[in-house]
Structure 1
């Protein structure tokens, strides 16, 4: 059986719940071979982000070339890119290597409020990366930053998705995890709308949910699913991961990326 592949381009989370670590766990759980390009290293745990150190442009470029020149890449997930120079490097290499699918998760601020994208880099993200994205996956806060005004309701989400789609991505998925009530996401592909509803799970342990959802979408795209199918399957996966979230640390614990495998083998959690 042919092994499909996915590449994550993102920052490292030392606690293992988000970033590169969450992406690779998700790829593995969904049967896709995962590869990584690390853009920054964070000092991070379930309580917050305490420091960020960006990698050099040289090593980021070297990682990209090393992967693309050797192993076929069926899909790419992009997460934390902290400055304009890194964004431009990624965009330039994506135009050279032209991967089939690019899932762009515009990670800007951590749950604890730490700025992960420099303010001056927003313009570079919009100009250089949005036009290369198969799908852009902002949450409400990220959508608000990208469109320049608050996005707080379903109507706001639709307007934001349409405005962002005009900036170049093939589709925009505005995630409603921060809405009151059920978790509703809205997809706009430039022509039609699609709503994805999910059951809201009462838990504080949601560390890494955004990274996990976007990497799950990338995994299912790599396996040949349509965008709508990939999003629907990714939503189902993240709901299970949140439902089985782990009570680790003193803050927001991580989702359980291997919940299906642990259940199937009878392994105990905790």
Structure 2
């Protein structure tokens, strides 16, 4: 920080070489303020001080005459100054996140096979139980809040608050991969009798129904949490703490005289 100012004052200085002339009173006063030299008639000095010849002569002998001058002037000045300051602040923010998961399950199945024979064998009924695997995926989203103090590089450390997973439908293994248990059949009977193509002309009716049963859900395997964007909240700023002002050197500019020079003898105006 640089400060500038204009100094307005009057310069008072000693006249360096004033010649006191033995001329009549009220002679012209000649003085150059730049050099401090000039000429003053003794009558002007006597008039200013109210002295007679004897008093003036005594002052000359005693060297007690002091000539000074005064002149108005302006001068520009500048000065460097620095002032440290500190300020703290806090900011809240909200961060969203997402997470995927997979869930396995098993499903029970029931197969009922019935066929009617025309060769006198009557109606045959068979039954068996099976199970197959299934899997489904789901996603869920969550959010967490955090605060940071004084720096925009701070990080969130809180935990996400997640909602429930939104799962899709199970994808079941094909029926060809079902692990079937043994057929429930009477002794000597074989379900293949109903399904064998060689018996097609001997069967008047066949029913082969597979009925899906209950789904038994297994464990959920969670994937990695994917951090989303951070939404900054309001910033709370503290008061600024100002430090000490450190001033540099004053740089003075050129003096500019704005008024006439005034000459004095022993403090009396000439």
TM band (smaller chain): under 0.3
Report which structure shows greater RCO (CA 8 Å, sep ≥6).
2
Higher helix share: 1
State the TM-score, normalizing by the size of structure 2: 0.15
Bigger Rg, which one: 2
Between structures 1 and 2, the one with greater strand share: 2
